[in-house]
Amino acid sequence: MLQGYVIVLVAFAYLGLLFGIAYYADQRADAGRSVIDNPTIYALSLAVYATAWTFYGSVGRAASDGIGFLPIYLGPTLMIALWWLVMRKIIRISKASRITSLADFIASRYGKSALLGGLVTVIAVIGILPYISLQLKAISTSYAILLQYPEISMPASEAAGRHAIAADTAFWIAMILAAFTILFGTRHLDAAEHHEGMVAAIAFESLVKLLAFLAVGLFVTYDMFDGVGDIFSRARAQPDLAPLLAPLEGVGGGYASWVWMTILSMFAIMFLPRQFQVAVIENKNEQHLSKAIWLFPLYMLAINLFVLPIAFGGNLHFPTGTVDADTYVLTLPMAARQEGLALLVFIGGLSAATGMVIVETIALSTMVCNDLVMPVLLRLRKLRIAERRDLTSLLIGIRRGAIIGILLLGYLYFRLAGEAYALVSIGLVSFAAVAQFAPVLLGGIFWKRATRNGALAGLVAGFLVWSYTLLLPAVAQSGWLPIGLIEQGPLGIELLRPVELFGLAGLDHTTHAMIWSMIANTGAYMLVSLMGTQSADETRQAGLFVDVFRQTGEAGGARFWRGTASAPDLYDLLARFQGAAAADAALKEYARERGLRWPDKGFVADADFVHFVEVQLAGAIGAASARIMVGSVVKEEALTTEEVREILDEASQVVVYSHRLEQKSSELERATEELRAANERLKELDRLKDDFVSTVSHELRTPLTSIRAFSEILHDNPALPDADRNRFLGIIIKETERLTRLIHQVLDASRLESGRIEWHESLVDLGVVIEDSVAATSQLFRERDVQLEVRLPERVPKVVADLDRIVQVLVNLFSNAVKFVEPGRGRVEVSLTEEGESLRVDVRDNGLGISLKDQAIIFDKFRQAGDTLIGKPQGSGLGLHISRSIIEHFGGRMWVASRPGEGACFSFTLPRVREPALVWAA
Amino acid sequence: MQDPEAKGQRLIALFILGCLLFNYPILSLFNVAADAFGVPVLYLYIFSAWALLVGLMAYVVESRP
């Protein structure tokens, strides 16, 4: 037996815990270490979407409709994919203009229109009341049922009407929630409308309700039944349940209803005041959207996983008609005598309901205060509100009053109409009401041409159709209007029947209402916008909203202000609404950022400053009221629409220019980089030319010196013995040959480079060329006692080349190899192989090898391996350069592979002749 | 952080995919009175498609190019 006081005690302990969490989060926020600046908390706070309706109502709907409840969660899953596009923009706009609520957003967009803000507030309050009453109903029903434990009996439906108000649980629940909401939301006035404590508590509640629901789901599925398969197979065996298992056509309206429910919930996830509050106003960082985009749909998937098993489990367990399906979540654990689990479920449902009520009433109270009450008070000059010293307490008072008022109205709706409908139907009425905001809000951020009058017309038209097709039937159904109005139509005109307007039949009420209200709303909005013109204010706000991603910083709006103002007056204004301390802090911060001082005589109230004060003020009392207040202390010159448009165009041109400038400067950077590289290359070439000249002169001087020395000896000593004379003459001849060879090479190199060389191309057999070259250099090998090994295939394809030039290359490679091996132990291998489309020649030696650094340069002009300062240069340094140029001329490649101490292998390839015919012809 | 515009466009593609998966006529293919793994085919389809969509969104949002 669960005593009433136990339940109440647990419930209060839970609410106390929530308050503790909120208090802690507020403390942390004041200390600058926010707990809610975290993407996971942000995603969890979005789950305030799942209310008592989800917790109890989904199962109720599933028990009678099968899968018909799911679009309410599939819609948001789809919509959130578009959030990166849409919600990021809304958040950016809201932060730039310090938007405080949904009504404030719409009012700001359409020229800070107080009328529009008021209209949005009225629609939101009327539309949301049924939804709040639904939460009250859920808490009081679940409490009443749990009180009967272990008996399961439904509270009689007329019971609520019979109770005196003071004895009605729902009334006390409403009052307790009002007290808690006041504690959570309006303990003090936050300049930016942030409620960090509330968000932390909501995120915690989201976890609790998910865990409670999963616990029930697991218990029902695996303890009361033998798993999911068991439940479904038993349901299929029952003739009255089987049709629910593949039921899309069975749902009223079929696919049309499915689609419209999806669209409806897509709008709800963005435009329910509480969703706008947590998603936009309480957002700390737009990057948090990233994680929410997948975490929030995952949450919804998880909380819906066990809805169908519980619904069918309930249908199987309880005889038809004895237990309300909306209560299965609670009554199933009770039927299984699970006292603890039942209590957990009650707490989970309490979480779902209180979370919704707290956030929704805070959001609505902000709207009521900023967009409904304040504009009216400020305009009533008799009250002299604008002249009071401190208005913060007035603001808080209005909000607290609004919270109590909204909850009382919610309770009233519960008393009057709440009993006639199931949970889901009540919620859908509210969804359809907030869906009316979709055209003006989405249109407002993407369509510049939309006007204030268009928005007013759209909202009024949509709201009227909603009232006629959804609210009126609901009121009539509860007996407050003659039911004949619904069944026969007003004055008996069938065509005007609220639930089958103009004869549109065969749909459920919500789908029917959505179709007509969206047509009326969007139609009026677009028609009036297209036919009308915008005022200067509207043009400016449209530009700021639609092009928010092209604005820079908060100062975007300052460009539009012209006039004169006094800084002390503006300060006084701010202090009256925010309190002196907050105003001082804000102005000091403003001055510090701009390198100014406050308070200071030289402080000028320029456009920037006026805009800053207006935005600060908007954070406290909404954009429309802030505009009125600032207007009362400054002298503003009105801009014409044309002027505003010019400023906007200027701004977008500046953006285009700066984009172009960026492009130009990056092009310039690239060009500079290329120039620098070219310059480097030129410098290198210049250095090489100097090297060339000095090396050539050095190379020429060495043989010349010895020729001259020996010639002088011969000239001065006519009596030299014959043997010596012959030896000296031999040296002179050898040095002259060397000189000739060098000059030949220099000429060759320069002709190769300038392309003035003559080539004698013919078909060449590389094998023969190698043998010829070996024969030509055999003397050299013998002199230095170096072994030479030649490996040639029997027959190789020919190549097109200049025979003499190829011999030159080979001789050069051979003489290099001989030079660098040790006499006596040296070994040189020559091989010819076919390699794909080309022939390859390798000349391998077992000499000193070439270091990696040298390998990179030896093919350059006058570059030799090793240190030319120590060792005598062993050649001109042109041989390899010339060889490579020759090989490359014939389409081949030349390279070296070597490691110091392990010899070197010079290789080159030449492309073979493709057409065999050519070979034979030759 | 990847290019916000690319991310936005990938998410729009997923939105379109979701609209296809959860609508007539794809949905009607699974609207049959049969069970798979002990669960009605329609339920199994919707929940798997849902999970797939959430997985893809997580991938698009969290992947670094």
| B47 shares contact with chain A (CB less than 8 Å) | yes
* Same-domain status, A530 and A572: no
Instruction: Tell me the C-alpha distance between A820 and A864, whole Å.
Output: 12
Measured at the CA of A48, the angle between CA A45 and CA A52, to 5 degrees, comes to: 150
Length of chain B (residues): 65
ipTM, interface predicted TM-score of the complex: 0.94
- Which DSSP string corresponds to A832-856? EEEETTEEEEEEEE-SS---HHHHT
Q: How many domains does chain B have?
A: 1
Q: Do A662 and A634 share a structural domain?
A: no
Residue-range definition of the domain harbouring residue A690: 643-752
Asked if the structure places residue A425 within a domain, the reply is no
Residue A735 near residue A706 (C-beta atoms within 8 A): yes
CATH number at residue A823: 3.30.565.10
State how far the Cα of A450 lies from the Cα of A456, in Å rounded to an integer.
Answer: 11
A229 touches chain B (CB under 8 A): yes
Q: Do A301 and B15 touch (CB under 8 A)?
A: no
pLDDT at A424: 61
Is pLDDT larger for residue A255 or for residue A432? A432
Across the interface, do B41 and A85 touch by the CB < 8 Å criterion?
Answer: no
Highest mean pLDDT among A190-194, A498-502, A760-764: A760-764
CA distances from A786 to A237, A410, A775, A814, A845 (A): 100, 110, 14, 11, 10
Check: CB of residue A545 under 8 Å from CB of residue A649.
no
Instruction: Verify that A704 and A820 share a domain, yes or no.
Output: no
A426: left (phi over 0), alpha (psi -120 to 50) or beta: alpha
Closest CA relative to residue A213, chosen from A69, A345, A310: A345
* Length of chain A measured in residues: 922
Q: Could A82 and B12 be called an inter-chain contact, meaning their C-beta atoms sit closer than 8 Å? A: yes
**Which residue from A227, A232, A258 is facing B35, i.e. has the nearest CB?**
A232
Instruction: List Cβ neighbours of A723 (8 Å cut-off, separation of 6 or more).
Output: none
Q: Residue A835 forms beta bridges with which residues?
A: A838
Q: Could you say which of A504, A533, A550 is where a domain stops? A: A550
Quick check: A227 and B24 CB within 8 A?
no
Token pair, residue A699, equals: 């190379």
Residue A796, CA distances (Å) to A209, A810, A916, A920 in order: 85, 17, 12, 13
Q: How far is B31 from chain A (nearest CA, A)?
A: 6
Whole-angstrom Cα distance, residue A842 to residue A638? 89
Nearest residue of B to residue A229, measured between CA atoms: B38
CA–CA distance, A340 with A689 (Å, rounded to integer): 95
Residues 266 through 325 of chain A touching chain B, CB cutoff 8 Å: 287, 290-291, 293-294, 297-298, 301, 305, 308
Same domain, A264 and A200: yes
Lowest mean pLDDT across A155-159, A203-207, A377-381, A700-704: A155-159
Q: How confident is the model at residue A261 (pLDDT cuts 50, 70, 90)?
A: confident
Residue where a domain stops, chosen among A359, A392, A420: A420
Say if B7 is an interface residue toward chain A (CB within 8 Å).
yes
The closest alpha carbon to A398, from A167, A720, A593, A620, belongs to A620
Whether the CB of B40 is below 8 Å from some CB of chain A: the reply is: yes
Domain containing B15: what range?
4-62
Question: Which residues of chain A neighbour B4 with C-beta distances below 8 Å?
Answer: 84, 88
Cα–Cα dist A65/A251, whole Å: 6
> In this predicted structure, which of A160-169, A296-305, A557-566 has the lowest mean pLDDT?
A160-169
Structure tokens at A475: 């009121």
Nearest to A459 by CA among A485, A446, A441, A478: A441
Please report the beta strands in A477-564, taking only residues with DSSP state E, as ranges in sequence order. Answer: 563-564
- A571-616 pLDDT, tens per residue? 888 887 777 788 888 888 888 887 777 777 667 777 778 888 888 8
Q: Say yes or no: A708 and A826 in one domain.
A: no
Q: Do A297 and B50 touch (CB under 8 A)?
A: yes
For A864-919, write each residue's pLDDT tens digit.
655 443 344 456 677 888 888 888 888 888 988 888 778 888 999 988 876 554 44
> Could you tell me how many CB contacts below 8 A there are between chain A and chain B?
106
pLDDT digits (tens, 9 = 90+) for A774-804: 888 888 888 888 888 888 887 778 888 888 8
Q: Say whether residue A228 is in contact with chain B using an 8 A CB cutoff.
A: yes
Q: Where are the alpha helices (DSSP H) in A288-422?
A: 288-304, 307-317, 328-335, 339-367, 374-379, 392-416
Does one domain contain both A745 and A781?
no
Q: pLDDT tens digit string along A744-767? A: 878 887 787 777 777 888 888 888
pTM for this predicted structure: 0.69
Burial of A310 (0-12, 13-18, 19+ CB in 10 A): buried
Q: What SS3 state is found at A562?
A: coil
B43 and A236 within 8 Å at the Cβ level: the answer is no
In a domain, A715, yes or no: yes
Structure tokens of A194? 């942030």
Same domain, A900 and A852: yes
Average pLDDT, chain A: 82
User: Does B20 contact chain A (CB < 8 Å)?
Assistant: no
When mean pLDDT is compared across A25-29, A43-47, A278-282, the lowest value belongs to: A25-29
pLDDT digits (tens, 9 = 90+) for A110-156: 888 888 999 999 999 988 988 888 888 888 888 888 887 777 776 65
Q: In this structure, are strands A827-835 and A787-791 parallel, antiparallel, or unpaired?
A: parallel
Is A227 at the interface with chain B, CB within 8 A? yes
B3 touches chain A (CB under 8 A): no
How many CB atoms lie under 10 A from the CB of residue A608? 17
Q: Are residues A723 and A671 in the same domain?
A: yes
Q: Are A403 and A365 in the same domain?
A: yes
* B contact test, residue of A78, A291, A308 with most B CBs within 10 A: A78
pLDDT of A691 strictly over 50 = yes
